[in-house]
Amino acid sequence: MNNMAKTLRREEQQAFDTWFNRWIKNTRLEQSLIEAARKGYKSLIVYDRKNDMDVYQKRRFEDPRFVKRLQSELPDLHVELRQYLDKNAFGFSFNAYKVAVSWEVLK
């Protein structure tokens, strides 16, 4: 049974790696960061839970490995998963998440 757990973890990691590699290849992240800087922004939200996404995408973006992996792709920028409290149309509060890339130099 231990081999099965190891196999499942390996498969899950490979699936995440495949998804991330496709995402980083297909997104125009570098161009989006440059455009945001030209407009005077100091950071860019690359994921916001409020946007219409399927459960699969939400799970991938909110996975702690996503931030670590994106940080390794952008070593001179700051990448973080931000958690905040939001409300739905009925007034119920829920935790929401954003992934932000920042290039602001903190003093």
Q: Helices (H), strands (E): how many in the chain?
A: 4, 3
Q: Which residues pair with 84 in a beta bridge?
A: 96
- Closest C-alpha to 96, from 81, 106, 86, 107: 86
**pLDDT band for position 89 (50/70/90)?**
confident
Give the per-residue pLDDT at 27.
Answer: 92
Is pLDDT at 37 greater than 80 in this prediction?
yes
Using alpha carbons, select from 51, 42, 100, 97 the residue that is nearest to residue 71. Answer: 100
| Res. 1: pLDDT tops 70 | no
Domain range list for the chain: 2-102
Reduced DSSP (H G I as helix, E B as strand, rest coil) percent helix, strand, coil of the chain, to 5: 50, 25, 25
Helical H segments across the chain, by residue range: 2-26, 29-38, 55-61, 64-73
Q: How confident is the model at residue 52 (pLDDT cuts 50, 70, 90)?
A: low
Strand order in the sheet with 43-48: 43-48, 93-102, 78-87
